[in-house]
Amino acid sequence: MKNCEYQQIDPKALATPSPAPTPSRPCLEKKPKRLKRKWEVFPGKNRFYCDGRIIVARQSGVLPLTLGLILVTSGLFFIFDCPFLVQHLTSCIPVIGGVLFVFVVISLLQTSFTDPGILPRATPEEAADIEKQIDNPINSSSSYRPPPRTKEVVINEQVVKLKYCFTCKIFRPPRTSHCSLCDNCVERFDHHCPWVGNCVGKRNYRFFYMFIVSLSFHTAFIFGCVTTHLALRSQGGNGLVFALQQSPASALELVVCFFSVWSILGLSGFHTYLVAANLTTNEDIKGSWSGKSGNEESGNPFSYNNIFKNCCSVLCGPMPPSLIDRRGFVPTEDEVRAIPAEMELPSIKTDINMVGRGPTSGHAPPPFLPPNP
């Protein structure tokens, strides 16, 4: 007689809490002894490194270029401009430059390698349950093509439409969007940024914002310092050409910084506006809240109508956990077989170990049986 067993939830495992994107492979596949981690069977188009600790999009995009530009330009600045400026001005310059550089690189890496807020796909039972709810009210005549599935919800006295995602088989929460590049639904989806090689969403927006703000300061700072450097060198009747000859690296830095500072500053300004209005780039571009159907009353239902509060909630709010349990183990096939509600129960199934709890993180849960009466 089997006893009722409860899986003790390991507190450590909750550090990266969990649901499982159920693997789409058939359950009958006999797995070898080594248990797979969930990142190995992740259905989206992401890539994982360090055994699931690091997540990036399928195409790393231009991330190496971004990193390269930052490292090279900053490197040249420290090597060629700083010594002169320390000598002629102040030694604070490399210190400030160093701090900004550290902030830029750390926030860039965090933006790129953090889970942006990916929503795991629905388990088969959930998907079946939702299908059932959708099909019921509609006449299921074969010639009738059902309209795209939407659900309406009233938030803050405004009607918000929730769309059904055919890939993830869920009704998307408000502000969630499906990224076709990564093939995931991402919460509070802002945009997919090729420069950082990842989506920007709920969980990494603050890193992204810090990245562009610190990069604006850093670029502007280098630009200012290089200009000062060249100006100082060309004093005393030497001329700019002479100064450039003496310090050719500065020319390169000047060019890079000149072209990037405008776009980065512009982007920072734009995102500052978005943060203050509690909007996402996606919503801003689509005009979701800005009177699209001539409705004067539509405004952003998620805004607190207070700039300070908006900023605080977007940038300093609590850090939500990652919903995909990358390092958890995929449960064995014993656990995956469960019947969705409404399915005919009686004669067919005779196996005892049919039902499992949902997979818990970090462990392969044992089969669960209810207590015998």
Partner 1 sequence: LQQQAAIASKVFVQRDYTSGTVCKFQTKFPTELEARIEKQQFEETIQTLNNLYAEAEKLGGKSYLEGCLACLTAYTIFLCMETHYEKVLKKIAKYIQEQNEKVYAPLGLLLTDPIERGLRVVEITIFEDRSIGSR
Q: Find the binding residues for partner 1 in span 165-184 (CB under 8 A).
A: 170, 173-175
**Is residue 368 a contact residue for partner 1 (CB under 8 A)?**
yes
The residues in 88-117 that bind partner 1, with binding defined as CB under 8 A, are 102-103, 106-107, 110
Structure tokens at 328: 């958890």
Minimal distance, residue 169 CB to partner 1, in Å: 11
Cβ distance 250 to 268 under 8 Å?
no
The residues in 204-243 that bind partner 1, with binding defined as CB under 8 A, are 206-207, 210
Structure tokens at 223: 């630009």
Minimal distance, residue 316 CB to partner 1, in Å: 3
**Is residue 140 a contact residue for partner 1 (CB under 8 A)?**
no
**Residues in a beta bridge with 171:** 164
Distance between CA atoms of residues 250 and 325, nearest Å: 46
Neighbours of 257 (CB within 10 A): 23
Stretch that binds partner 1, among 9-17, 37-45, 215-223, 249-257 (CB under 8 A): 9-17
85/170 with CB nearer partner 1 = 170
The residues in 22-51 that bind partner 1, with binding defined as CB under 8 A, are none
Minimal distance, residue 355 CB to partner 1, in Å: 4
Q: How far apart are the first and last CA of the chain?
A: 12
63/185 with CB nearer partner 1 = 185
Distance between CA atoms of residues 361 and 373, nearest Å: 30
Q: Identify the residue among 35, 72, 134, 162 touching partner 1 (CB under 8 A).
A: 162
**Is residue 355 a contact residue for partner 1 (CB under 8 A)?**
yes
Structure tokens at 5: 């067993």
Distance between CA atoms of residues 231 and 171, nearest Å: 60
Catalytic residue among 185, 193, 199, 257: 193
Reduced to 3 states (helix: H, G, I; strand: E, B; else coil), residue 158 is strand
Interface with partner 1: number of residues (CB under 8 A): 79
Residue 176's nearest CA partner among 230, 118, 252 is 118
- Look-up: residue for tokens 């991402």? 186
Stretch that binds partner 1, among 7-15, 86-94, 236-244, 255-263 (CB under 8 A): 7-15
Is residue 311 flagged as an active site residue?
Answer: no
Helix 205-233, helix 307-315: angle, nearest 10: 100
Minimal distance, residue 184 CB to partner 1, in Å: 11
Q: How many residues does the chain have?
A: 373
**Is residue 123 a contact residue for partner 1 (CB under 8 A)?**
yes
The residues in 187-206 that bind partner 1, with binding defined as CB under 8 A, are 187-188, 206
* Residues classed as catalytic: 193
